[in-house]
Amino acid sequence: MVEVTALTAHIGAVVGSAVDPVPLSKIELIRSALADHLVVVLPGQAMDPRSLDAFMDAFGPAHIHHEDQGVVHVAGLPAVLELRKDPDGALFGGSGWHADATFEDPCGKITGLYAATVPAVGGDTVFASSIAAFEALSPVMQQMLAGLNAVHSYDGPGRPDHRDLTAVHPVVRRHPISGRQGLYVNNMFVTRFDGMTREESRTLLEFLEAHITQPEFSCRVRWAPGQLVLWDNRFTLHYPVNDFDRQPRLLYRRVAV
Ligand SMILES: O=C(O)CCC(=O)C(=O)O
């Protein structure tokens, strides 16, 4: 019997344990925990970039990140990114709340992040549920948001939309398994709501990010070597905490679209 232990009321669960890791062949159990909790922590997994790549095929086709400053692909595995923080280096994704590859269509669906080396303390990742956030809004606000689309662009707000990496997505989407609705916006990539001015969009986006990321809808994941974390990018935001100067941190990331 594999234990699934919720981390908070709204988001996050640990599946198995470091001494009794869940077999990764139990894909339906993992998929169901992910649908219920949006973020699942799988401790004690013996993986490498190649097995991470193969495992993530169960969740959808690979997202291949384009070349850019700070983007490091694992040699021979174009879908797997090496997220390395060395002393004085920047932390990938480290500048704010976001979801992965929302500027693509199809967008980033499930991310798998596997820890090889982590600081003794620090470098946690915080996640927030956009489903809990949506359900807490007034019906009038829910209805208004359900009629909106948002423009997501790789270069983010304040810059012209990226010529290739720009996509328009509905602001409210329904989870295909749980049937619950969640918000699909993030301030890193959304440049505006379709049909609204940038000023109108900014105010609404700032409200939504503050609303989604409140502690009541969030969980904080502490890393350990050998830990795999999966999250649903369609219904969560995440925030890498950059509080571990001068300690190495190496994770491998594979996104399914
Ligand atoms: O390093 C982390 O904690 C999260 C990584 C991240 O933000 C990303 O891959 O987009």
Cis status of the peptide bond prior to 157, with omega within 30 of 0: no
Radius of gyration, alpha carbons of the chain? 18
The CA distance from 36 to 170, in Å, is: 22
- Among candidate residues 213, 189, 190, 214, the one with its CA nearest the CA of residue 201: 190
Q: Is the CB of 227 under 6 A from ligand 1?
A: no
Q: Identify the active-site residue in 10, 37, 63, 100.
A: 100
- The amino acid present at 199, given as its one-letter code, is E
For residue range 188-241, list pLDDT tens digits in order. 999 999 999 989 999 999 999 999 999 999 999 999 999 999 999 999 999 999
Q: Is the CB of 253 under 6 A from ligand 1?
A: yes
Question: Which of 83, 100, 188 to mutate to test ligand 1, by most ligand atoms within 8 A of the CB atom?
Answer: 83
For residue range 137-187, list pLDDT tens digits in order. 999 999 999 999 999 999 999 899 999 999 999 999 999 999 999 999 999
Q: pTM of the entire structure? A: 0.97
| Residues belonging to the chain | 257
pLDDT tier, 86 (very low <50, low <70, confident <90, very high otherwise): confident
Cα(162) to centroid(ligand 1), Å: 22
Which of the pair, 251 or 91, is modelled with greater confidence?
Answer: 251
Q: What is the pLDDT of residue 196?
A: 95
Instruction: Tell whether the torsion through CA atoms of 70, 251, 87 and 98 is positive or negative.
Output: positive
CB 40 within 8 A of CB 13: yes
Cα(93) to centroid(ligand 1), Å: 5
Q: Residue with the nearest Cα to atom 4 of ligand 1?
A: 240
pLDDT tier, 89 (very low <50, low <70, confident <90, very high otherwise): confident
Q: How many Cα atoms sit within 13 Å of 180 on the Cβ side?
A: 19
Q: Residue with the nearest Cα to atom 7 of ligand 1?
A: 93
| Token pair recorded at residue 84 | 């390395």
Q: How many Cα atoms sit within 13 Å of 214 on the Cβ side?
A: 12
Instruction: Tell me whether strands 172-174 and 181-183 are parallel, antiparallel or unpaired.
Output: antiparallel
pLDDT tier, 54 (very low <50, low <70, confident <90, very high otherwise): very high
The CA distance from 103 to 165, in Å, is: 6
Q: Identify the active-site residue in 65, 98, 152, 234.
A: 98
For residue range 118-146, list pLDDT tens digits in order. 999 999 999 999 999 999 999 999 999 99
